[in-house]
């Protein structure tokens, strides 16, 4: 549940963000065979460029997932911040 108090909106839940990145990573990984089909008509250099780009995007997505999971672990060990409340 997202509540808005005078423009104060909590950030997305960590679990939601992690699930979204996991879903994106699975989508990228499942797309590799389709990428190979899409680039087969291109020159070898272009094929290799497309594959390298896809691999870089997957690597970045994995790094983002790892970062989010580390942050969630760190946040769970920190005391909770007081909720955002409206000013008087």
- 5 bridge partner residues: 8
Higher pLDDT: 44 or 15? It is 44
Whether the full predicted model's pTM is greater than 0.85, yes or no, is no
Over residues 40-80, the pLDDT tens digits come to 999 999 999 999 999 999 999 999 999 999 988 887 766 55
Q: Where are the domains of the chain?
A: 14-75
- 8 bridge partner residues: 5
- Tell me how far apart the alpha carbons of residues 5 and 84 are, in angstroms, rounded to a whole number: 8
Q: Write down the pLDDT at residue 87.
A: 67
Q: Which residue has the tokens 């909590």?
A: 10
For 72: left if phi > 0, alpha if psi spans -120 to 50, otherwise beta; the answer is alpha
């Amino acid at each position: 549940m997202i509540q808005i108090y005078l423009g104060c909106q909590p950030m997305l839940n960590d679990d939601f963000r992690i699930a979204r990145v996991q879903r994106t990573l699975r989508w990228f990984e499942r797309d590799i065979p389709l990428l190979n089909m899409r680039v087969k008509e291109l020159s070898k250099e272009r094929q290799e460029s497309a594959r390298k780009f896809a691999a870089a995007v997957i690597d970045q997505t994995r790094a983002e997932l790892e970062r989010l999971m580390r942050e969630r672990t760190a946040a769970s060990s920190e005391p909770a911040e007081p909720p955002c409340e409206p000013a008087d």
